[in-house]
Amino acid sequence: MAEHINKYETIFIVDKDKTEDETNEIVEKFKSLIASSGEVASVDVWGKRRLAYPINDKNEGFYVLVNFTASPEFPKELDRIYGITDGIIRSIIVRKDED
């Protein structure tokens, strides 16, 4: 039986206090993690932006949007890794509807 694959998009916000190299390492870490368990369709680096509301006394963060396809089990693991990664201040994973 063929494995079911879904389309997802995730946005994660990196702490603005991280250096440029540390931020790039975090972005690359998640790009390769997603690529190892699915297929990365696109990566859109939005850069530093003002947060809608303060998170941990911070008003700015480095935003990254990734569109990808993966099995239905992967987003739970990705969310877990976001939660234990130093430097990620917020993240969301959304399943996109099939067109």
CATH number where 43 lies? 3.30.70.60
> Is 1 contained in some domain?
no
Residue 19 lies in a domain: yes
Phi, psi of 83 (to 5 degrees): -65, -25
Boundaries of domain holding 11: 6-96
- pLDDT by residue for the chain (99 residues), tens only, comes to 457 889 999 999 999 999 999 999 999 999 999 999 999 999 999 999 999 999 989 999 999 999 999 999 999 999 999 999 999 999 999 999 865
Q: Is the pTM of this model over 0.85?
A: yes
The predicted pLDDT at position 41 comes to 94
Q: Per the structure, how many domains does the chain have?
A: 1
Burial of 68 (0-12, 13-18, 19+ CB in 10 A): buried
CA distances from 84 to 34, 41, 78 (A): 16, 25, 10
17, part of any domain: yes
Do the Cβ atoms of 8 and 98 come closer than 8 Å?
A: no
